[in-house]
Amino acid sequence: MTTVDIPTQATGSGTPLAAQPVVSVRNLVKHFPVHSKGIVRRSIGDVHAVCDISFDLLPHETLGLVGESGCGKTTTGRLLLNLVNATSGQIHYGGRDLTKLSTGQMRPLRRDLQIVFQDPFASLDPRMTVNEIIAEPLRIHGLYGGSDKGVKQVRELLRQVGLNPEHGNRYAHEFSGGQRQRIGIARALALKPKVLVLDEPVSALDVSIQAGVINLLEDLQKELGLSFLFISHDLSVIRHIAHRVAVMYLGRIVETAPVEELFTKAAHPYTQALISAIPLPDPHKERARKRVLLTGDVPSPVNPPSGCRFRTRCPKFATMLTDGQKQKCIDDIPELSNRDIGHPTACHYAEPVKLV
């Protein structure tokens, strides 16, 4: 079983004290069947997208979920909202297990659990005005308070995300990428949710625009008391916005810690490789720093390695372990536990290293 311990207090700026989790995920698994091509389609295996992961999301907290493309981050976010049916496991919110609820039973909970998608160009209907896009969830849930009141609701949401309410009659293509993402955020906020899943919300934006959207999200979290699951492959963004970080590799969480502790005491070789790839602004420090390099490609999620899934690319496995130690990596799945290093790590031979 993969378990994430909850710290008494994370170390990031403005980090919330430990409290009863808003969302608790336990032993979550998602497999997607793979079929052969042709007239007669046969099952040839399963994609192991998410494999026995557990974590808690605390009130007013941003939990960063990071990893390479294909590691299962987005699937985890969609499972959290019950947009994808879990193969097994539990997702507890408001005293209920979301994996056991029907579509009708989930509908009232949709108000509390919302998502902001990665691509602001594809996630907004080009046939609708911005006012219509933002008003749509209010109408669906019967919260659009008549003509005048509804218009005021939409105008206030546009103002809340830093857009001019006078531009609500325009279409999405008339706005820049950063403005479109703000429209997506306004739509997600329309139902006054408690939890936002942010699926790579700034990855499609120019670097100059990213900071404005991130600052907006931080301000909204403080103002509205939101909890964020922030999915990203960019550790620099995660360091700025997250309180805690969970690192995923090939469907499993391999390390989790308060954000500054992760950056200063990363213990899993995969986390160390991700952090060492972040460029430093000082060229002298950049040249002198320790690098953790990975070789080879990510294994197929249809047929993942036995034992530790990271061992086929692990520099420690390749150069530093004895044959007996390697056999342990081959045979035994490393549990996510503290291992006397202060935060949970899924590595049999975890060792904290300062990289930045």
Q: Are strands 227-232 and 62-66 parallel, antiparallel or unpaired?
A: parallel
Q: Mean pLDDT, to the nearest integer, of 217-237? A: 95
d(CA 30, CA 50): 5
Please report where in the chains the tokens 């609708």 appear, as a residue. 128
Please report where in the chains the tokens 């989930």 appear, as a residue. 106
Q: Higher-confidence residue: 135 or 320?
A: 135
Q: How confident is the model at residue 170 (pLDDT cuts 50, 70, 90)?
A: very high
Q: Is the pLDDT score of 83 beyond 50?
A: yes
d(CA 79, CA 83): 6
Helix (H) or strand (E) holding 257: strand 252-258
d(CA 210, CA 58): 25
**pLDDT tens across 182-220, in order?**
999 999 999 999 999 999 999 888 888 999 999 999 999
Q: Which of 311, 353, 252 is nearest to 4 (CA)?
A: 252
Q: Mean pLDDT, to the nearest integer, of 157-183? A: 95
Q: How confident is the model at residue 356 (pLDDT cuts 50, 70, 90)?
A: low
Beta bridge partners of 345: 255, 337
Is residue 217 classed exposed, middle or buried when 0-12, 13-18 and 19+ CB atoms within 10 A define those classes?
Answer: buried
**Under 8 Å CB-to-CB from 296, ≥6 apart: which residues?**
312, 313
Beta bridge partners of 256: 246
Q: Mean pLDDT, to the nearest integer, of 333-341? A: 91
Q: Is the distance from CB of 144 to CB of 132 less than 8 angstroms? A: no
**pLDDT tens across 276-314, in order?**
988 888 788 778 777 888 888 889 999 999 999 999 999
Q: Is the distance from CB of 65 to CB of 229 less than 8 angstroms? A: yes
Q: Mean pLDDT, to the nearest integer, of 221-243? A: 95
Q: How confident is the model at residue 3 (pLDDT cuts 50, 70, 90)?
A: very low
DSSP state of 3: -
d(CA 313, CA 293): 9
Q: Mean pLDDT, to the nearest integer, of 42-57? A: 91
Q: Is the pLDDT score of 344 beyond 50?
A: yes
Q: What is the layout of strands, in order, in the sheet containing 195-199?
A: 113-116, 195-199, 227-232, 62-66, 244-249, 252-258
The domain ranges of the chain are 23-35+45-264, 265-356
Q: Is the distance from CB of 10 to CB of 262 less than 8 angstroms? A: no
- Which homologous superfamily is 23-35+45-264 in? P-loop containing nucleotide triphosphate hydrolases (3.40.50.300)
Q: How confident is the model at residue 12 (pLDDT cuts 50, 70, 90)?
A: very low
Please report where in the chains the tokens 């008339």 appear, as a residue. 174
Least confident of 36-40, 119-123, 207-211, 255-259: 36-40
**pLDDT tens across 110-164, in order?**
999 999 998 888 889 999 999 999 999 999 998 887 778 889 999 999 999 999 9
CA distances from 218 to 19, 39, 115 (A): 20, 51, 16
95: left (phi over 0), alpha (psi -120 to 50) or beta: left
Q: Is the pLDDT score of 90 beyond 80?
A: yes
Q: How confident is the model at residue 8 (pLDDT cuts 50, 70, 90)?
A: very low
Least confident of 52-56, 79-83, 282-286: 282-286
End-to-end CA distance of the chain: 32
Share of the chain above pLDDT 90, in %: 73
Q: How confident is the model at residue 98 (pLDDT cuts 50, 70, 90)?
A: very high
CA distances from 176 to 12, 115, 159 (A): 32, 20, 17
